[in-house]
Every structure is written in C-alpha cells, then in structure tokens.
Structure 1
Amino acid sequence: MVLLENALLGIIFGGIYALSATGIVLTYTATGVFNIAHFAVALLAGYLAWELNGGLGLPMVATVPVVLLLCGPVLGVALERLVFRPLQARGASSSEKLVAALGVSVLILAVINIVWGPGVQGTTDEPVPRLFPVEPFQLGSLRFDTEQVGVVASILVIAGLLWFLLRRTFLGTRIRAVVDRRELAELAGIDANRVSQVAWALGCTLGALTGLLIAPPALEPTRIIILGIETFSVAVVARLTSIPMALAFGFFVLGMGRGMLDGFAPFGEGSGTLPQLYDQVVLNLSSVVLFGALVLFRRLDEVGGGAAGSAGLVTGAFGRGRRTGPATAVLGAAALVAALLTPAVLDGADLRQGHQFLALTVVFVSITAITGFSGHLTLGQASIAGLGAFATARFTAEFDLPVLVAMVPGIGVATLAGLAAGWPALKRKGLFLGLTTLGLALIIYQFVFNAQLPFVAGGPGQLIVQRPSLFGLDLSGDVAFWFYELVVVLLVLGLVHNLRSGPLGRVLAAMRDSETAASSVGIDLRRSKLFVFGVSSGIAGLGGTLLTQADQNFDPNTFYPIFGLFWFTAVVVCGVSSIRGAILAAAVYVAVPRITGQDVQSAVGIFGLGALFLGRLPGGVVEQLRRLPALLNG
C-alpha cells in the first residue's frame, strides 16, 4: 500500500517534469532551438506571481493570466523575433542557437537576482501563492489533497489540448510541416516564421505554467534551477521530437517509477555504501537518466538546419593561430609588468579579488582549449574544476599530503572526468555533446559534492583548504600567493599557446573544420578528441584548485552546475577562439561585481546581453577589437 501511495504521489512530480519537457520538445521540433532558458522562464514566472499576488495584492484569478501572458506569448514572441529569427535567417549552427538561449538564461537569472535578490523568497507568513487550494482527503487508505488532483488534472487537460492542436487543427498541420522540412513548407506558402512564433509562445507558456506549479511554498532558485535542468532528461529520452513520449516518460518513469523506488529498500536501511548510494540514485534519478540516455543513445539527430559543432562561434583565423606581431608582443609585455606590479597597487579585498581572476583565467582557458581549438561544446567545466579542487582537498586531508603533492592526483581525477565527458564526443558533437557535459556536471555535483557517501567522505559542506608552501617558502600570504598563482597562469598560458600553434593545434583545427576531411588524411580522431578533453579538464581541475586555495575552503556552491553555463557564455562572448578572450572574460567576471558593488550576476547579465547579439559579433569581443583599426580606416 505504501508503494502504491508513493507511486500515485510521484505522478504529480512526474507530471510537472512532463509538462516542462513538452515545452522544450515543442520549441525544438518547430524551431531547431533547444530552449535551455526554459527553467529560467519558469523561475521568472514564479517570481512575478509572488510579486503580483504577495506584493501588489492582485488576486490569483488575475495573477495567473497576467503571468502566463507575460512569460508566455509576450516573452516567446519577443525571443523569436529579436533573437532567434535572425539566427535562423542566416542558417546559424545549433551551437550558436544554444549559446543565444544560454544568453537568455543568464540574462533572466541576472534580472531576477538584481530585482529580487539571490535569497529564498516566501515565508510561512507570506508563502508563494498556489494555483490550487490544499484540502486533504482520503480514498480508502490513500491520502491526497486537492492541489495534487488539480495539478494532475491541469497537466492532462493541457496534454489533450496540445494533442488536439497538433493533430486536428490547420495550425497543427502547419507546425508539423515546418518541423518536417522548413524549406518545403515555405515553398508551399506556409509562413514558417509565424509558426515559429506560435511554437515559442506555446513553449514559454508551458515553462511559465511549470514555474507556477513548482514555486510554492517558497521560491528557492537553486531547487527550481536544478529541477528545471533535470527535466532535460525527459526531453532527451523523447529524443527531443516526441511529445507523447515525453508525457509518458515523465508521468510513469520519473513520476510513478521514482515514487515506487523511493518506498523500496533493496539493500535495507542503514548507513552502508549500497543503501546510501541507492538513496542518492533515487533522489537524483532524472540526472542519472539524462547522462545515461545521452551516453547510450547512439543516434540523436539535430533539427533546424545549420552546422553542428562550433560553427559560427570560432573564427577560422583565430582557431588556427597567427604569428605574434609587434603590437601583440608589446601588449603582452605590458600586461606582464602590470601583473608583477599589482601587489604594490592592490591590497586586502582587492588583491583577493585578483586571486579569483587568476584562478578563473586558468579555468576559462580550459574552455578555450576544448571549444576554441577542437570545436566541441562543454557546459560542465565548473563541476570538473570543482572535482579537481575537491579531490586535492580530500587527498590533503586524508593522507596528510603537502598541497602541491596532492594537486597531482587531484588534477588526475579531473582529467579522468574529462575523458568520461570526451568519450561521447567520439560519436557526436554540438548540442548533444554539450548536454552530455552538463549531465556529467550534475552527476558530479549531486553524487560527489552534495552527498553523504562513504567513498567521497566529507560532503556535503565545506572543506578547509590550505595554501601551499614550496621548499620551506610559505605561500599563504596574499602577496606570495599572488605570485604563485601568476607563475601557474603563465605556465598554463604557455602550454595552451603551444597546443594551438604546434602540430596538434593544426590537427585540432582540421578536426574542427571537418572531421570527415581530417579522417581522410589519416588523423586519428579518437585519440585527438580524448587528448584535448583530458588536457583541458586537467587544466580546469588546476584552476579549480587555485580557486579553493584562494578562498582557503572548498564550497560546493562555488562549482554549482549553473556556473558552468555562465562561464561558457562568458568565454564565448569574449572570444572562445582566443586565449585573450578567456583572460578578458575572467577580468570582466571578477571586476564588474567589484566595481558595481553587486554580486556576480551583474557580470553575468552583461555576458547574457552579449550572447543575444553573438550573431553580430563573430569571433567575440576580442576579434571585434582586433578588427577595429581596419574598420576605422575604412
């Protein structure tokens, strides 16, 4: 009876997963855009409802239509018209569309943070409003409430209306025609742009409704963001094309199935490894399904036209590297002198912010090494960086190793994670590889950083991290640590520069431009892909270690998976083809919050705006600055 009750209650949460995934699938099939901003739309809807109802006193009967209108048709049509239609018109790659959607995500999250703050909103006295009243009742021995019934009923009604729209109406026929072949549909007189607008409006409306359902009783951004990302698993299992599959999988597998597993204890109760691991798998089943599906599905097609990989994000000239000219040499020398003089100019909190800049430079350069040099998307670099830092801290604490010695196996663990992320790259690239790295980031965060498992003893929570010493020289002081970091950064920049300009760099550039052509001339794609993923992940692990040494503690929230999206967006906007782009991204990421007195979301908002206009900034900001003299001269 307990299993049955858990299964029926699980349908409610599964229905919310299904509803959210349906919006993603609908948008993707009609437009070719994987709307990674779906969870941000849901979060925005929750905040608007809380503000209108709790702040302005608008009754829920009026709040719901206003929120659904603003976050649905209005926002969806605006995104299609201003952001994604120009990309579609010039045949943008799936990677460009994904980055644009990332820009929408980070911009919405930045606006939410600036307007309402980063904390949890909603209290016992002023809870986030619910769509349905909560009145408990029983059916036999099963206990329910009216809200649960209302949620399930509304989702079923919406699913039925969507089926009727897509299968029994003229508009549905047009949508299916555009999904099948956009070019042929346009030749038949169908306005494909109008169809895309409708799809965006419907998709965002479903996202907004998801937010209204999952927001109560308190607006916890972390919970809603993670839940939103986890709904990607339903969309991926549906292969981003089947709404019925998304609904069925959400309701019955992630809903009813997880509910039944939650009440089942095959390894008994206790604190042993297997019982705790089982509990973590059930708790994070959607993340496990997301990563597993992306790894196991051998065929995942991208729709919407355009090239896969990094087309449109990487400029050919930048990707292959150029000889260092006099101006570049002078600029580099000036930057080095400025770095050497920094401790004489900055102190206290400002110098500690400088520590963050140097550490993030290393992490951001690792993104350049993957996406800029090999053309593969990586959205999970934050968790891989954190894994290197976590492993270093654990080796130091458990085996009493010196910090510099413990960094070696710590970086090795990050490298192994990179190889795991790179393995799917042997079969695919572009959107689905990016989602695979994001899925791995979720697994790392939930099973390593945020779990009480014996084999990763110590989590969740913070770990004390010591700064290193070398040959008796104490590097724990802020000035000494600055120069230690600077030496590491220079070594990493030299390594990555040689990676780009050497023979391997030419191999990676050829592989990025055309894997078929590269393979035809005898390039071992398998070895090259795994090598670049392993090296770049090792660099990310080193950067994560520097980041925790700068803070002198390991905080899992520093490597929250959403930061991987922020960091990737920052590097792409500044110039993912260039090492200088990574340095600029780190500088802006650290300096803007310090200058404005806001948190990191102020910088994230700038990168979000930049991502929206990425189609007009080929190569990123650094490439546009390089071209500026020629543009000024006519």
Structure 2
Amino acid sequence: MRSGYFKQRYGELIVLTDSPAVKAWTAVLLVGLVAAPFLLSTYVLSYLTIILFTLVGALGITVLTGFTGLISLGHVGFLMLGGYAYAIGVTRMGLPPELALVMSAVIPAVFGLIVGIPSLRLHGLYLAITTLAFSYIVSASILAGGKFTGAGRGIMISRPTLLGIDLSSDRAFYWFCLVMSVLAVLLTLNFRRSYIGRALVAIRDNDIAARTMGINLVRFKLLAFLVSAALTGVAGAIMGMYLSIVSVEGYPFLLSIEALAIIIVGGLGSVLGAVFGTIFIVTLPELFSASVALLGGRLQEVITTSAHEIKSVLYGLAIIGFLRFDPRGLRGIWHDIRHAWVYWPLRY
C-alpha cells in the first residue's frame, strides 16, 4: 500500500509531485482554464483575470514572508514601481512592450535590494514599519515627479502587442495573464525546492541555526527581497495594463493588507496556499456584495458607497478568523480533506 510519505532517493524529496492523480487533475485544470474564455461571460472572465494577476503578486510576498519569514507591509510600493516602470518605458521612453515588461521586474528588484539592506538588522514589527515607510516614499516621489510620472493624473496606457500577439481583447489578455501566472507558479515552486529556497526556509525557522550551518544570511535575505520585488513588479505592470491607467490611487495601501491576508488565509509558506488564498480573498468581497444585494434596501446603498472600507473589514475578519480557528489556512484544511478521502475508512 502506498503510504505517500516514504522516500528512497533524494530526488523524490524535491520532486514537484510523484502522484499520477495530481498530474491528471492539474492537466484537467489547465485545459479548463485555457477553454474558459469560450465558456464564460465577460464579467466572469474579467473576474478570473483579476485572480490570475493577483496570484503573481501573492507569490511575490510568499517568497519574502512565507518562505523567509520577513514581514512586509509595503509591497504595494513594488507594485507601483512595476506599474510605473512599464508605463514610463512604453509612453515616455518609447520602449517595446516586451522590454518595458522586463523593466517592470528589474527596477522593483533593484529597489528590493535597497529596502532589503535594513532587513539584515531589523525583524518583525521594525521591518514591517520600514517597508511601510518605503511604500509611502515611492508614492510621494511619484506624485512629485511632474509630467514624467504623470503626478496625480497618472499615465494612460493601452494593452500592448507582445511577441506579435495583440492583447487588446479580453480573451487574449486573459490568456496572457494565465501564462504569466503559470510561469510564476512554476518559478516559485522550483525556487522553493532549490537549495536557495531551503536556505530561506531555514532562515525563517531559525536564523541563528541557519548561520551556524553555513548559510549566508546577508546573501539569502537580499535574494529573497530581489525575487519577491521582481514578481510583485510584474504583477503591478499587468494590473496597469488591465486598468489601462497607472496612478497612485490605483495602488492603495489596502493591496498590501490584501497580500498578507492571501498568504495567511491560504497558508504561510505554501504555493498551493497562495493559490487558495488568492481565490478566497478576491472572491470574498464579491460574495459579500452578492449576499447584500439579495437583501436590498438601505444596506446595499451603504455597501456601494463604502466598498473600500468594507473590503478592509472583510480582510481583517478573514485574517483574525483563520489565525484563531485554523492557522494552517486553507491549505491545511485541504490536506485534512484529501487525507480523509485517501485513507477512508482506515482513518477512522
């Protein structure tokens, strides 16, 4: 009987999956996602597009906070840098969209190294406040940038043609977001199972013990900031393409809270948890609005005029609820359900 845990070779410990069932269900899921534009309405397709590019940003903070244990409240700063790097590259510098997209990863990565330097001596709340201050510095600098950054007006952009593929239609842009999210998932999974990813987890669990084992804390913490900022910057650029405008108001501080809510609700340190958390957190306001719409009346008007505040409350309740009742998040709940199914009736 296959136990699912016993491994005989080192390669089996780091393989993405050795389960034929997981491979089959993953293939079915990918086929379903590729075919989604032909089966779903424009509204639902737009909703799935938001989930996909949000997942890219969530994987960015998963590398930093989930893998390395470094808390960041300023990831919205990297989102802004990525969005503005792409917009300025296309509209001001006349760069091809492909090169501008690369720049949306490189520039946040450089700033990630700069912000990462204080992380070498700061931990916990102090590091969180430092990253929060960084996001406000970025937004203030953009607002003071005049015509070059668009100041408070922002920069209007259109969906580009990448590698000869026109992304102006909703279907094409959805497929682009799907490709980017799949690449981000594969990158993060392989990054986690590499020696770098294992070093980051060791730092998260006990940095003193990790240093004793020969892990260079300076190198790996800065590398975590670099990879995290690059992924988040790409997500910011894709978000700008989706909105057709890049502005400071388009990247509110609430996005940083949303990112933390995603990895906490989904399960810290897990790529699968980031996927579950993204779906849950992006869906939560929609489900709440739909529930309120059934009631109608004055409450629906209040929800409509206070959408930003309602989102903040929902994210806070989700974080508190999961930390109180199941800190493992949705990934832990999923594992319980899967094991109950696989080992039934022996489990009981």
TM over 0.5: yes
What CA distance in whole angstroms lies between the structure 2 residues aligned with 1:442 and 1:490?
31
Query: How much does 1:346 deviate?
Result: 2.1
Taking the aligned partners of 1:606 and 1:380, their CA distance within structure 2 comes to: 20
2:50 to 334, 344, 356: 356
Note the alpha carbon deviations across 1:464-511, whole angstroms, 9 max, x for none: 122221343312111111111111111111111111011111111111
Out of 592, 612, 626, the residue aligned to residue 320 of structure 2 is 612
Pairing 1:541–2:250 present: no
CA gap 1:565/1:327 in 2 versus in 1, 3 angstroms: same
Q: Provide the C-alpha distance between the structure 1 equivalents of 2:109 and 2:263, rounded to a whole number of angstroms.
A: 21
Aligned to 1:443: 137
Residue in 2 aligned with 1:473?
165
1:540 to 1:332, Cα distance in 2 relative to 1, 3 A: same
Partner letter of residue 557 of structure 1? E
Contact 2:97 2:162 in 1 (8 A): no
- Contact kept, 8 Å, 1:367 with 1:576, in 2: the verdict is no
What CA distance in whole angstroms lies between the structure 1 residues aligned with 2:320 and 2:165?
48
Alignment of 1:394-543 (within 5 A): 394-448=88-142, 451-454=143-146, 456-543=148-235
- State the AA in 2 paired with 1:611: I
Which residue does 1:583 correspond to in 2? 275
Equivalences for residues 10-409 of structure 1 within 5 A: 324=17, 325-409=19-103
Q: Do the aligned residues in 2 keep the contact of 1:573 with 1:607 (CA within 8 Å)?
A: no
- Sort the Cα spacing of 1:357 and 1:601 in 2 relative to 1 into closer, same or farther, 3 A: farther
Cα contact 2:66–2:263 (8 A) shared by 1 = no
CA contact (8 A) 1:403 1:466 kept: no
**TM-score, length of structure 2 as denominator length:** 0.83
Per-residue deviation at 1:631? 6.3
CA distance in 1, matches of 2:50, 2:338: 32
| Structure 1, gaps ≥5 residues long | 1-319
Residue identity in the other structure for 1:550: Y
Name the CA shift for 1:465/1:591 in 2 (closer, same or farther; >3 Å).
same
Superposition RMSD in Å: 2.3
Indicate the SS of the match to 2:150.
coil
What is the CA deviation profile of residues 320-341 of structure 1, one whole-angstrom value per residue up to 9, with x for unaligned ones? 9775234433442232122112
Does the CA-based 8 Å contact 1:592-1:602 persist in structure 2?
no
Q: 1:329 and 1:529, CA in 2 relative to 1: closer, same or farther beyond 3 A?
A: same
Change (3 A) 1:627 1:600: farther
2:262 paired with 1:570: yes
The verdict on how the C-alpha distance between 1:601 and 1:339 changes in structure 2, with shifts beyond 3 A counting, is: farther
Of stretches 391-400 and 575-584 in structure 1, the one that deviates more from structure 2 is 575-584
- Partners of 1:321 and 1:553 in 2: CA distance: 41
Distance 1:601 1:349, change over 3 A: farther
- Contact map agreement 1:396 1:402 (CA 8 A) in 2: yes
Paired residues of 2:115 and 2:134 also in contact (CA < 8 A): yes
- Partners of 2:309 and 2:167 in 1: CA distance: 31
Contact 2:64/2:225 (8 A) holds in 1: yes
Q: 1:532 to 1:353 in 2, by over 3 A?
A: same
Q: Distance in 2 between matches of 1:455 and 1:422?
A: 30
1:628 corresponds to which residue? 337
CA-to-partner distance for each residue in 1:589-622, whole Å, 9 max, x for gaps? 3333344346466565443223223043132121
Kindly indicate whether the alpha-carbon contact (under 8 Å) linking 2:81 and 2:107 is maintained by their aligned counterparts in 1.
yes
Deviation at 1:539, TM superposition (A): 0.3
Question: Could you list the per-position Cα deviations for residues 89-146 of structure 1 after superposition, in whole angstroms to 9, with x for gaps in the alignment?
Answer: xxxxxxxxxxxxxxxxxxxxxxxxxxxxxxxxxxxxxxxxxxxxxxxxxxxxxxxxxx
Q: 2:92 aligns to what SS in structure 1?
A: helix
Q: Is residue 499–residue 505 contact of structure 1 (8 Å, CA) maintained in 2?
A: yes
- Whole-Å Cα distance in 1 between the matches of residues 274 and 231 of structure 2? 13
Scaled by the length of structure 1, the TM-score of the pair is 0.47
Q: Which has the higher contact order (CA 8 A, sep 6+)?
A: 2
Q: Matched residues in 1 for 2:309 and 2:281: separation?
A: 9
* Residues 98 and 163, structure 2, Cα contact 8 Å, conserved in 1: no
Alpha-carbon contact 2:82-2:234 (below 8 Å) kept: yes
**C-alpha separation between the residues in 2 aligned to 1:537 and 1:606?**
26
Q: Structure 1 pair 606/481, CA: closer, same or farther in 2 (3 Å)? A: same
Deviations 1:410-449 (A, max 9, x none): 221111221122111111222211111111111112222x
Letter in 2 for 1:447: S
CA distance in 2, matches of 1:424, 1:455: 32
| Alpha-carbon distance between aligned partners in 1 of 2:16 and 2:182, rounded to the nearest angstrom | 19
Cα pair distance change 1:504/1:553, threshold 3 Å:
same
Q: Would the aligned equivalents of 1:452 and 1:458 in 2 still touch at CA under 8 Å?
A: no
Alpha carbons of structure 1 residues 582 and 401: separation in structure 2 relative to 1, 3 Å: same
- Check the 8 A contact 2:285/2:314 in 1, yes or no: no
Looking at CA atoms only, which structure, 1 or 2, has the larger radius of gyration? 1
The CA distance in 2 between the partners of 1:322 and 1:559, in whole Å, is: 37
**Other-structure match for 1:9:** none
* Separation of aligned partners in 2, 1:426 and 1:456: 34
* Amino acid corresponding to residue 272 of structure 2 in structure 1: R
Contact 1:423 1:530 (C-alpha < 8 Å) held by counterparts: yes
Does structure 2 conserve the Cα–Cα contact (< 8 Å) formed by 1:466 and 1:552?
A: yes
Q: C-alpha separation between the residues in 2 aligned to 1:455 and 1:517?
A: 50
